[in-house]
Amino acid sequence: MNVEQIFQSLQKGKISPSRAEKLLSLYSIEKIGNIAQIDTGRKNRKGIPEIIFAERKQLLDLKKIIKKTLSKNNEVLVSRIKQKDYTKVLEFAKNKYKIKKGKNTTAVLVYKKNIKKTGGKVGIIAAGTSDIGVAEEAKLVCESMNCDCISSYDVGIAGLHRIFPVLKQFIEAEVDVIIVVAGMEGALASIVSSIADVPVIGVPTSIGYGYGEKGVAALASMLQSCSLGLTVVNIDNGVGAGAAAANIANRIKTKC
């Protein structure tokens, strides 16, 4: 019964008001229920792979989830694997699938067939050695989303001059978007955004201490940036930055 029919039945006394109310609720929900089948579609189009946050998962469960996910998908990104489980997960994955690791991070991209390239290109800069792990998570996401990455780490503001050759290399390679990963005062994102003309995504990291620690200074600094056009993701959110960057890069390539 649709809304009209429910109200008619009620007026004719065929159903009680409380029955009508319940039918109305159910009707509404049922209509919305139809949207359930969208999700798979969306995943295909947006191209973001399944991502497993392994931080609070048992090793056994983790293996099962990887297996199950890869039975339906070509790739899965496993991030924040517990240090003690990391080599075990790698071994498990290497036996059955192909893998791609990142530096200074326990994330791993597990896949079956080689991932096709859209031609989208993402440049990734990290300000300090401790920021590399976050940058590498972003990189793995980009690669899982069919993009190529060029990365350059240890480019800090204290050595301002080290930024320029990197940006030159990025522009020669025609990157579509740049991710800047930076802790402490996070000024690198502002500077890159003020020099580069491609979209720039800033990732503040939780590196730092004292006032503004845990990434708060870097986040505030990036949000307050005088350099128009910089957008930001949450502290340490390399995965989110990668997804946004690859989305932009793919859009540029696939729309041509």
Interface residues for a copy of itself in 72-111 (CB under 8 A)? Answer: none
Cβ(192)–Cβ(167) under 8 Å?
yes
Residue 221 tokens read as: 């600094």
Instruction: Among 24, 90, 99, 150, indicate the residue that binds a copy of itself (CB under 8 A).
Output: 24
Instruction: Among 12, 13, 34, 116, indicate the residue that binds a copy of itself (CB under 8 A).
Output: 34
**Chain mean position to CA 59:** 23
Choice between 96 and 168, CB closer to a copy of itself? 168
Q: 200: which strand partners?
A: 178, 230
Q: 181: which strand partners?
A: 126, 203
Span of 8-16, 92-100, 110-118, 247-255 interacting with a copy of itself by CB under 8 A: 247-255
Choice between 9 and 227, CB closer to a copy of itself? 227
Span of 36-44, 67-75, 83-91, 108-116 interacting with a copy of itself by CB under 8 A: 36-44
**Chain mean position to CA 170:** 21
Q: Minimum distance from CB of 77 to a copy of itself (Å)?
A: 11
Give dist(CA 122, CA 196) in Å, integer.
13
Instruction: Among 12, 13, 56, 113, indicate the residue that binds a copy of itself (CB under 8 A).
Output: 56
Task: Please give the order of strands across the beta sheet that includes 98-101.
Answer: 50-53, 75-79, 108-111, 98-101
Residue 109 CB neighbours (<10 A): 25
Instruction: Among 13, 29, 83, 116, indicate the residue that binds a copy of itself (CB under 8 A).
Output: 29
Choice between 95 and 242, CB closer to a copy of itself? 242
Q: Minimum distance from CB of 187 to a copy of itself (Å)?
A: 4
- Count of residues in contact with a copy of itself, rule CB under 8 A: 100
Find the binding residues for a copy of itself in span 140-199 (CB under 8 A).
Answer: 156-162, 164-165, 167-168, 171-172, 174, 176, 184-187, 190-191, 194-195, 197-199
User: Which amino acid, residue 231?
Assistant: T
Cβ(153)–Cβ(132) under 8 Å?
yes
Sign for the CA dihedral angle at 204, 208, 152, 106 comes to negative
Instruction: Among 12, 84, 113, 255, indicate the residue that binds a copy of itself (CB under 8 A).
Output: 255
Find the binding residues for a copy of itself in span 216-245 (CB under 8 A).
Answer: 216-237, 239-241, 243-244
Q: Minimum distance from CB of 103 to a copy of itself (Å)?
A: 13
Instruction: Among 14, 31, 64, 68, indicate the residue that binds a copy of itself (CB under 8 A).
Output: 31
Give the residue ranges of DSSP H helices in the chain. Answer: 3-11, 17-33, 38-46, 59-72, 86-96, 132-144, 163-172, 187-195, 216-223, 238-254
Instruction: Among 46, 64, 103, 117, indicate the residue that binds a copy of itself (CB under 8 A).
Output: 46
